[in-house]
Structure 1
Amino acid sequence: MSSLHRPPQGFTLIELLTVITIIGILAAIIIPVAGRARASARNIQCVSNLRQMGPAFAAYAADHRERYPLSYDGTNNPDNNWYYHLAPYLGMQVKYEWASVLRACKPGGPLGCPDTDVTDKTYTEPWISYKMTQAHVSWLNANGGVTAGGLPLARIANPAQSLLVAEGRSHPHFNTWATINPGAGLVYPHREKLNALFADGHVGSFSEQQLKERWDIWYTRAIDG
């Protein structure tokens, strides 16, 4: 008994073109969505880093006469920056050598935003992800001079309105509204916004224009009477 079999038929050219077109449309939809999802995940990690720094700064201050570490002490030593001093309070071991400090600031770690571009040669030290305000380094004393050594926490009049750390490159510190410009230090890697830690421990997100409009968050120095 014999049976008849039709030979298998392949796709027609029109069917193949239709499939290719559908795949292209799906890719055009999925790829941007996946990219936004990855960017959102990096932003969430950055915010988490800053939130962890809040208790770390508080713990450091508790061990150092209720003062924050200096953002930068003006020397060229490996411990001239706040990263070195804050790292142990984030569970990190940092040696007294620049290579160890650099490793502590790698993107994706507690001191490194995953959106930091380590290959960016625009800045002198592109490995830096975060900058600390200089406003907590020195303040005006009763004689009109400048007292250095870290601003006592009690002298910060409004911690919820006082910037402590913001995203940036180059030097480990920022001081005036001029540094909010991308070319001057602070950077805006999250859809043209940066994340910032305030002295009370909360984290906010700002565009360059928003920072320009917020003069109150820059001036935290107090008169030491």
Structure 2
Amino acid sequence: MRNPRGFTLMELLVGIVIITMLAGAVWTVGRRAVSTAQIAESSSNLRQLASANAGHVSDHRTYAPAMDPRNLKRWHGGRSHRKGAFDPTEGFLSPYLGNSRQVGFCPRLRDMISDPDSWESGSGGYGYNAVYLGGTPRDPYRPNVPANVRNPSQTLMFATTALAKSGGLQEYPFAEPRQWIDPNGNPGGSLQPSMHFRFSGKALVAWCDGSVSAVPMTEGSDLNYYGGSNDEHAIGFAGPSNDNGWWNPAR
């Protein structure tokens, strides 16, 4: 009885190439599926934050404060002393965030954080427009009101954010505009960016009308006070630059 013919070297090589190509295709499809799911979850978190802020407006007639004067309570959490960690269930928005009373954590940022030593925990990877909504240039502890927002669909309320430091990435609870503004409304100098373009070069933004969209980076910045690289971690600014762009509700 004759033995069946074995595979030739060429047939084996072709088989290996086909298997490798199929494995690569499956990996690519799987990665895209994970990315799509992460975008959907993060967008949902941002919509919940915008809705929570609308609830605060309904009860208090103002947006949620970014923080109190003692820095013991912020939009995303509270603490008993200034060196303590923030309890994410004790923030100004906590009563409006459902049974958990806290911000959902961005799944993409969770995968990217490399330094667990964070002093800004509890914000879930999202930053608030503290300069113009959670406060005002004239009074950082007195939140703004919706009547002062001229174009809600083009005014940033929350965005995906992070802070680049020497040890890697960490949470950062404020979406910083390009310039800090003095009490008279005049630009006072450049700010370190915090908007994080972690979804294939795009950041997610929750606007004052409650909608959420993905936006590309339009401007980078080397300004970093913590030894990190904004460019390496895709941190920068988006939108028009004049008058602090999307951050400024008076535009």
Shared fold, TM over 0.5? yes
Which structure: greater helix fraction?
1
Per-residue deviation, 1:121: 6.2
Per-residue deviation, 1:178: 5.3
- For the 8 Å contact 1:197–1:203, the answer to whether it is kept is yes
Matched, 1:68 2:72: no
How do 1:1-225 and structure 2 match up within 5 A?
Answer: 6-7=2-3, 10-64=6-60, 66-77=61-72, 79-82=73-76, 84-94=91-101, 104-105=102-103, 111-116=104-109, 117-120=112-115, 125=120, 128-134=124-130, 135-139=132-136, 146=139, 148-170=141-163, 171-177=172-178, 184-209=193-218, 211-213=238-240, 215=242, 216-220=245-249
Distance 2:174 2:6 in 1: 66
Distance 2:195 2:206 in 1: 13
- For the 8 Å contact 1:177–1:218, the answer to whether it is kept is no
- For the 8 Å contact 2:50–2:157, the answer to whether it is kept is no
Distance 2:129 2:98 in 1: 23
Give the counterpart letter for 1:89 in structure 2. Y
Distance 1:147 1:221 in 2: 16
Distance 2:194 2:32 in 1: 25
Change (3 A) 1:120 1:39: farther
Partner of residue 233, structure 2: none
Which stretch shows the higher mean deviation, 129-138 or 26-35?
Answer: 26-35
Which structure: greater strand fraction?
2
Give the counterpart letter for 1:176 in structure 2. P
Consecutive aligned runs of 4 or more in structure 1 exceeding 4 Å deviation: 5-10, 120-124
SS of residue in 1 equivalent to 2:108 = coil
| Unpaired segments ≥5 residues, structure 2 | 78-90, 164-171, 181-189, 220-237
What is the TM-score of this pair, normalised by structure 2? Answer: 0.66
**Aligned-residue RMSD, C-alpha:** 3.1
Identity in percent: 27
The Cα offsets for residues 36-59 of structure 1, whole Å up to 9 and x where unpaired, read as: 221122112111221222222111
Distance 1:17 1:7 in 2: 22
Q: What count of residue pairs does the alignment treat as equivalent?
A: 197
What is the TM-score of this pair, normalised by structure 1? Answer: 0.72
Bigger Cα Rg: 1
